[in-house]
Amino acid sequence: MGQSNFRIMITGGAGFIGCALVNYLLKHTGHQLLVLDKLTYAANLAAVERFNTEPRVNMVQGDICDASLLQQLFARFKPDAVMHLAAESHVDNSINAPADFIQTNIIGTYTLLEAARSYWQTLTAIEQQVFRFHHVSTDEVFGDLDETDNLFTETTPYAPSSPYSASKASSDHLVRAWHRTYGLPVLISNCSNNYGPGQHSEKLIPKTISSALAGKPIPVYGDGQQIRDWLYVDDHAAALYLVLTKGDVGESYNIGGLNELSNLTLVQQIYDLLDELAPAGFCQLSKGESYRQFIQFVADRPGHDRRYAIDCTKIQTNLRWQPLESLKSGLLKTVQAYCLSR
């Protein structure tokens, strides 16, 4: 795979994971990038400004549901690969307003698949063999492991619980169908919960940090014993590129951080870090008080899955990938970034 002449279209490239992926590709490759993003409330506008100064990045504001725009972009940019990250992703928002999730995650993925298929069919046989469509998904499509010791594997049956996870499951099925029916060379990856500096404040870790620094409570759903696996976003970006360049067409790969713990324990660990890095006087704490006082238990979320946990043996064995960050080191970097930004 050539460096300077390889061209990647990245949808959702101004989102949290998308920005990390673009940064990784700029740092570790010489590829040409087209970043397509609708620039909704969740976009990182500071990153967009920086991408606009990069000669290897073509930044385009647009919607993956816009078939005409997609046709123009494929014809003009002539990508060798598509990395599809554009999605509505916040579970609470999907419960309150599911229509946006159906539109972007299902209709948008269908529209992008059709644009990619039409473009791919115009390529030479050699170019078709090179082309890849990498769809980035979530472990939430697998549903709830509950109190078992099981792990999600690539063959775990889908059992989504929320409008968000159902919409992502639908998009996964569409991608597989376009491979089976039309021969489009696809790859799918399903990741666990991402975190790191710069994540949107609606997500649990940044919300916990920013609320504490503002002297506000953080709501913890139910008893706080819902278990999640946490993946540092830069480790995820590296894994995505490995899947794109080394993965087998038609295969899916689970990407996990190997950091399983309850939401309550996670919040407590963040507050303990804040006690060290931002002691009393940094916000509305009195001397000797702990940020743990900001924990506030609230009614559980409807359809809340009890446990997610990923078995990422396949990507570790076949693609030689390992996460570089432990939860301890990743959380430290994340909390430090928020403290320094104040």
Per the domain annotation, does 275 fall within a domain?
A: no
Active site residue 140: yes
Looking at 24, 119, 164, 308, which residue is catalytic? 164
Phi-psi region of 306 (alpha: psi -120 to 50; beta: other; left: phi over 0): alpha
Tell me what pLDDT residue 281 has: 56
Domain hosting 159: range is: 7-197+231-258+309-324
301 in any annotated domain: no
- Residue 58 domain flag: yes
Residue 165 in any domain: the answer is: yes
User: What's the pLDDT score for residue 146?
Assistant: 77
Handedness of CA 67, 142, 159, 260 (dihedral sign): negative
In a domain, 238, yes or no: yes
> Residue 299 has which token pair?
């009614």
- Cα(167)–Cα(91) distance, rounded to whole angstroms? 11
Per-residue pLDDT of the chain (342 residues; tens, 9 = 90+): 546 689 999 999 999 999 999 999 999 999 999 999 999 999 999 999 999 999 999 999 999 999 999 999 999 999 999 999 999 988 889 999 999 999 999 999 999 999 999 999 999 999 999 999 999 999 999 999 977 789 999 999 999 999 999 999 999 999 999 999 999 999 999 999 999 999 998 899 999 999 988 888 998 999 999 999 999 999 999 999 999 999 999 999 999 999 999 999 999 999 999 998 877 556 667 677 888 998 999 998 888 888 989 999 999 999 999 999 999 999 999 999 988 776
CATH number at residue 317: 3.40.50.720
Instruction: Of 100, 162, 170, 163, give the one whose Cα is nearest residue 135.
Output: 170
The Cα 156–Cα 148 span in angstroms is: 14
Residue 145 located in a structural domain: yes
Query: Tell me, what's the pLDDT at 2?
Result: 47
**Per-residue pLDDT, 279:** 72
* Residue 222 placed within a domain: no
Q: At 326, which helix (H) or strand (E)?
A: none
Of these residues, 63, 140, 154, 229, which one is catalytic?
Answer: 140
Output the CA–CA distances (angstroms, integers) from residue 75 to 62, 120, 289, in the order listed. Answer: 16, 11, 60
How many Cβ atoms sit within 10 Å of the Cβ of residue 262?
Answer: 17
Q: Which residue has the tokens 């499951």?
A: 169
> How many distinct structural domains can be found in the chain?
1
Which residue in the list 63, 88, 139, 229 is annotated as catalytic? 139
| Strand order, beta sheet including 186-191 | 57-61, 32-37, 7-11, 81-84, 132-138, 186-191, 252-255
Answer whether residue 336 is part of any domain.
no
